[in-house]
Amino acid sequence: MKKVLFICTRTVPAARWPKGLINHDLAGKFEAFSAGTEPSFVNPLAIVVMKELGIDISRQRSKGLDEFDNQKFDYVITLCSQADEACPVFFGGTKKIHMGFMDPTATIGGEPEQIAAFRRVRDQIRKQIVEFLSKEKGE
């Protein structure tokens, strides 16, 4: 099984979503982990939109990169430009890839607008990352 590490600046929510999605959609083929260059809390809206897919990320906790020292990964994927700049080289990964996504927490508006933004980014992450890893695995 291949291992992939997703990195975002504060892990809200971009790094947690791919971890949950990959461990759900590609279980048995990939094992996903997530970390933040500046670890922080799990945004409640991130939990809500993942539960809509039947994926529970409520027990995930924010991890720093140091928790993955000396571990080997087949892929290290940065999900925001700040993480890409902060981690130009990650020695545990054989392939480092950058896939940038909008931060839904920056959405202006009430809860309906915020939920819509969270869903949109969740779906973009699912499509792009699952497609990429499926092709890498030769599916």
Active site residue 50: no
Q: Which helix (H) or strand (E) holds 2?
A: strand 2-8
> Which residue in the list 4, 5, 7, 8 is annotated as catalytic?
8
Active site residue 135: no
21, 126 contact by CB (below 8 A): yes
CA 9 → CA 34, 39, 74, 79, 103, distances in Å? 11, 7, 21, 8, 10
Strands 30-36 and 73-78: unpaired
Measured CA to CA, the distance from residue 53 to residue 74 in angstroms comes to 26
- E strands present in 47-109: 73-78, 93-98
> Which residue in the list 15, 55, 79, 80 is annotated as catalytic?
80
> Which residue in the list 12, 32, 83, 87 is annotated as catalytic?
87
Active site residue 80: yes
Task: List active site positions.
Answer: 8, 80, 87
